[in-house]
Amino acid sequence: MGGTGVWLVGARGSVATTAIAGAAAIRAGGAPPTGCVAELPDFTGAGLPPLSDLVFGGHDVVDTPLRKRAEQLVRAGVLPASTVRLVADDLESAEAELRVADPDAGNTGPQAGTIARIVDDLIDFGIRNGLERTVVVNVASTEPPCTPHPAHRDLDALDTALRGPGPVLPPSSVYAYAAFRAGCGFVDFTPSTGARLPALHELALRTRQPYAGRDGKTGETLLRSVLAPMFARRGLDVLSWSGTNLLGGGDGATLADPRAAASKNASKQRVLERNLGGPVDGQVHIDYVPALGEWKTAWDHVLFEGFLGARMSLQLTWQGCDSALAAPLVLDLARFTAKACRAGARGPVPELGFFFKDPVGDVPHDLATQYVLLRDWAQR
């Protein structure tokens, strides 16, 4: 039987390039699968498509060759030079499967035409590579918050509106729509809207496709999803939780836009509220520091009260490489979503909440419980 397609929206970005190069390196025996959840002993025998069966394709608005992007990531300290030499052929194969994204996707209409082209690309990709199925994963830059439109609430209205002039859906939602129409599962690894509109939910159900998201949990929020439950389980009273994120790279530049940052911050604070049982004082800042390159530093300060009002604090500094943290999760999500497809799941897959800052569906908010949910689901 055929492989599993992974169609990356933002396929020439750092995360996508790292995921493609890394999957090839692991397959070639050039690296252990560090950071890949699906490779943990708990998931042996879970029927996930093996890493070596993944076939990569995707869209991007830029056309820098993958090979060149990989070399940039070597200089940035993300990829080892030896890895890039080892996987040169795999990068060429993936390169052949990349298509230029319609730069106007979501901006000028009618968007029905853009969608039809994406659907064609997805179907051609599957046929050309003899794939059993394809999962679309959005790793493009974060969009500004979505402008509401009446057609978002109803699939029939949406279908009509997409044929009219003007943008109706943001780009991430255009891809979700196209994915479902092409019979693909959809994962939103970013805080963008993606499949999170009633009309798209309806489409997922009607086309019997699963979706997952949103906003991969790779650093500060990952920590919050284990530390906030710790305070809650000990009955300690969190008085404030403040954070500053210093980001270089493309993500930092995008998030320096206060509108894009707003969606990200909302999901970060939501993790605290849900774990701590109510709103928590404190701001989150996202600063663009170009010199950090592909790296990020997050500092969190938690002020809490214990027995008889004693004031205490916890500080955290997380220094990580965003692409190295995100890429293995992108591979995981493609594989788990493929399994969900095979198992006939449709609509949101709450069991994948483990991977996200702002998971769809009614899911627990602490990482440990999310892990148990994922493991038990995968082993069923």
Window 80-99: residues binding a second copy (CB under 8 A): 80-81, 83
Q: Which of residues 18, 142, 192, 337 is near a second copy by CB under 8 A?
A: 18
- Name which of 68, 96, 64 is nearest 84 in CA terms: 68
Give the x/- contact pattern for a second copy in 160-179, rule: CB under 8 A.
--------------------
Q: Give phi and psi for 283, each to the nearest 5.
A: -105, 160
- In the 8-state DSSP scheme, what is residue 44? T
Nearest approach, Cβ of 152 to a second copy (angstroms)? 34
Residue 46 makes contact with a second copy by CB under 8 A: no
Residue 52 makes contact with a second copy by CB under 8 A: no
Q: Give phi and psi for 141, each to the nearest 5.
A: -60, 150
Residue 347 makes contact with a second copy by CB under 8 A: no
Residue 278 makes contact with a second copy by CB under 8 A: no
Q: Which of residues 29, 148, 235, 344 is near a second copy by CB under 8 A?
A: 235
Q: What is the DSSP string of 275-320?
A: HHTS--B--EEEEE-GGGTTEEEEEEEEEEE-GGG-EEEEEEEEEE
Give the x/- contact pattern for a second copy in 305-344, rule: CB under 8 A.
xxxxxxxxxxxxxxxxx--xx-xx----------------
Size of the site for a second copy (CB under 8 A): 74
Q: Which of residues 13, 57, 229, 252 is near a second copy by CB under 8 A?
A: 229
Which tokens belong to 138? 């959005």
Residue 28 makes contact with a second copy by CB under 8 A: no
Rounded Cα–Cα distance for residues 329 and 35 (Å): 8
Rounded Cα–Cα distance for residues 314 and 372 (Å): 27
Q: Is the peptide bond before 163 cis (omega within 30 degrees of 0)?
A: no
Structural Rg of the chain based on CA atoms: 20
Residue 210 makes contact with a second copy by CB under 8 A: no
Q: Which of residues 6, 11, 16, 31 is near a second copy by CB under 8 A?
A: 31
Residue 62 makes contact with a second copy by CB under 8 A: no
Whether the CB-CB separation of 168 and 159 falls below 8 Å is answered with no
Residue whose CB is less far from a second copy, 106 or 364: 364
Which tokens belong to 38? 């699906």
How many CA within 13 A on the CB side of residue 203? 31
Residue 11 makes contact with a second copy by CB under 8 A: no
